[in-house]
Amino acid sequence: MFKKSFSITITMGCCGCFGFIRKFKRCRNQSGIKTSISQDPLLDETEDREEEDDDDNDDDRSYNGDLTDTISGDDSEVPIRAKRSEEILMLREEKDMICRQFPVKETYKAVRAEDENGNKMVNEYVREYKIGSGSYGKVVLYRSCVDGEYYAIKAFHKSHLQKLRVAPSETAMTDVLREVLIMKMLEHPNIVNLIEVIDDPESDHFYMVLEYVEGKWVCEGSGPSCSLGEETARKYLRDIVSGLRYLHAHNIVHGDIKPDNLLVTRHGTVKIGDFSVSQAFEDDNDVLRRSPGTPVFTAPECCLGLTYNGKAADTWAVGVTLYCMILGEYPFLGDTLQDTYDKIVNNPLVLPDDLNPQIRSLLEGLLCKDPKHRMTLADVAQHSWVIGDDGPIPEYLCWCKRKRLGGEDLNSDNLLA
């Protein structure tokens, strides 16, 4: 599966999967040959840590991509921002700055039972089978007895999350609660929707009920055969850029854009998922120090142990994703983690001679190593190859914008400007 080829973790014993800080030396120049996705160094080594219902070995669709080790940073240093993401998000919630027409349902009672067929249930949801696992918990397909719809439910054990230290002042529970706060703010056709949060104070269980995307990843398989045709890649890229521009407009950095976290519906729409390492900002000051994304999708500036701008790093990851969709391989991949970082920082971008010149210019712009000269998402939306026959990517008229406009018909189905 594509997930096993694209998820790279750091070998640090049992702590490597959970974002513990580890500093790396500055990258030094090393030579190396271009390597295909089908090569298998640095594969996913995330441990399954579920405490029950874990005897399934079903399809491993990714609603919570595996968190890799933090590349750089030191939380003991003076914080970059005046407020942490959690404070910013809670303040937005208090001020009703939520960009969704209907709020996420919050349930404070979790009833675990069985239906007449012996299938396990949580409240109205009947368990079908496990569909994935992430850094902190599992993802299970459930069917609602109320509306008959299927939902992907991320299940966690609060006691387990509270024991996992991801930074000197943070546990894994901090990450999960931040993910919930972020998803409670958002509503966009290219972002996986959070439906309900079940958090019973009398129970150790914690659940995030998400829309179920019954489709596939942006790429499945491995090696050059994974490459998509130009038309499909263009369509997917337009959806990715639309969703990510929406996030950035709301001062949210995703932090782990990669094919694993991009799900395609049966109708061919891409939805961005997994906000477990995302961050919120008060304004356009998106400076970060820690970089907990996936190594092969990491921007050069994140490899150097320096501060960086989160939106520009997201844009680099879009470039790596496009490279993978078009060419079926990573632009920079070494035999070791450090070698991979060295290549990201030092090696030139290699593109086939017969590549479409428009795609070449787009990849060169997205994968520009200097973030100050890297293409922005606005530039991408106006690029000739992206426009194609469909025109520029429409600007999404989100709920909070419509509320500010006042004169708009808030019940209109026309969400695009």
Strand pairing class (170-171; 194-199) = unpaired
Which of the following is catalytic: 44, 239, 256, 260? 256
Q: How is residue 49 written in tokens? A: 């840590």
- What value, to the nearest 5°, has the Cα angle with vertex 157 and ends 153 and 163? 140
CA 120, 122, 126, 131 torsion-angle sign: negative
User: Annotated binding site for ATP: which residue ranges?
Assistant: 154
**111: Cβ–Cβ under 8 A, 6 or more apart, which residues?**
121, 122, 123
Judge whether 69 counts as a catalytic residue. Answer: no
Please report the sign of the dihedral spanned by the C-alpha atoms of residue 185, residue 379, residue 224, residue 9. Answer: negative
Nearest to 95 by CA among 282, 304, 271, 355: 282
- How far apart are alpha carbons 256 and 298 in whole angstroms? 8
Other Cβ atoms within 10 Å of 333 Cβ, number: 21
Q: What secondary structure does DSSP assign to 279-305, as a single string? A: EE-SSS--EES---S-GGG--GGGGGT
Side-chain-side CA neighbours of residue 373 (13 Å): 7
CA proximity to 122, closest of 132, 130, 112, 109: 112
C-alpha 411 chain-centroid distance? 30
415 C-beta neighbours (distance < 10 Å), count: 16
Residues classed as catalytic: 256
